[in-house]
Amino acid sequence: MKGKAFITAALCVLAVALAFPAAGLTAGTTVTPTSTVVNADATFTNNFDCSFPLTETITGSYKDTVYYDSAGNAVKEILTAQYAGPLTVMWTNPVSGASLSSHEAAPLIVYYNPDGSFQALQNVGLTFSIPGQGHVLLDVGRIVIISHQGIVFQAGSHQELNGDTSAFCAALG
């Protein structure tokens, strides 16, 4: 499917978060949520938003809060952007040098199955505007992704998800 940078960015952040599993918990332990501030510095090639490749860079930090059941198993995780400074995504056309950036503000919520495997992800999206041009990319509302089912709920405007990235790509062209 075309146009999923926000999902890709969210999954990159999720991959970093999953690298820090809960440790030392025993069944029956009363557990309060744990929070960690995580550095999210990653760069990858985005080949899906435009007809030309983009270099996509995520920099900054986010707060990762994990909630547990009474047996100490992770049941929900909330990744909160704009914690200890901005979480920034920058898209760069390596040929033209044109760049656009966005400060992420929406939380990412992950739900886990009782065995600790991924169950579902919720993301409320992003907006991207250029002064004098208005919105060039609008992904707002709510998206729910369930393991082995894909997107099961979508509300709002999701230009990137639906491949409507022409204004965004023109700004980077």
Q: What is the pLDDT of residue 144?
A: 82
Structural domains counted in the chain: 1
The closest alpha carbon to 37, from 82, 73, 6, belongs to 82
Residue 122: per-residue pLDDT = 79
Short-list 4, 96, 98, 1, CA closest to 44: 4
Q: Looking at residue 85, what DSSP letter applies?
A: S
For residue 23, what pLDDT is reported? 40
The predicted pLDDT at position 126 comes to 67
Q: What is the mean pLDDT of each successive set of 10 residues along the chain, which is 173 residues long?
A: 42 42 44 88 92 94 91 90 82 94 83 86 72 78 82 83 86 90
Range of the domain at 47: 5-172
What is the Cα–Cα distance from 55 to 168, expressed in whole angstroms?
A: 14
Assign residue 97 a region (left: φ > 0; alpha: ψ between -120 and 50; beta: otherwise). Answer: left
CB hemisphere CA count around 55 (13 angstroms): 12
Residue type, 22: A
Burial of 7 (0-12, 13-18, 19+ CB in 10 A): buried
Q: Which helix (H) or strand (E) holds 54?
A: strand 54-59
Gap between the Cα atoms of 14 and 165, Å rounded = 24
Q: What integer pLDDT is reported at residue 87 of this predicted model?
A: 86
